[in-house]
């Protein structure tokens, strides 16, 4: 019985693709959104909206763990 039979390869492929869809790409998308939010062109913004829609399940998985609120401003009087 070989170690990498068809079932093991299929299961491994599902885990890799699922992890990429639910964790890797949404995390990269979060950081891309944070960096480019105020300087993106209209085409890039539409493309970002499409990616957010396409990777929405992964965005929901990561949302509770990420905090992108602006930092507090120092007010000098």
Residue 32 neighbours by CB distance under 10 Å: 14
For residue 27, is pLDDT > 90? yes
When pLDDT is averaged across residues 10-28 and rounded to a whole number, the result is 95
Name the residue among 40, 17, 20 with its Cα closest to residue 28: 20
For residue 67, is pLDDT > 90? no
What is the pLDDT confidence band of residue 1, given thresholds at 50, 70 and 90? low
CB-CB contact of 57 with 22 (8 Å): yes
């Amino acid at each position: 019985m070989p170690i990498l039979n068809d079932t093991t390869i299929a299961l491994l492929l599902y885990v890799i693709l699922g992890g990429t869809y639910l964790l890797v790409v949404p995390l990269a998308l979060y950081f891309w959104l944070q960096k480019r939010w105020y300087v993106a062109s209209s085409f890039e913004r539409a493309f970002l909206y499409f990616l957010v829609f396409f990777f929405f399940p992964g965005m929901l998985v990561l949302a509770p763990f990420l905090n992108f609120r602006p930092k507090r401003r120092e007010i000098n009087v």
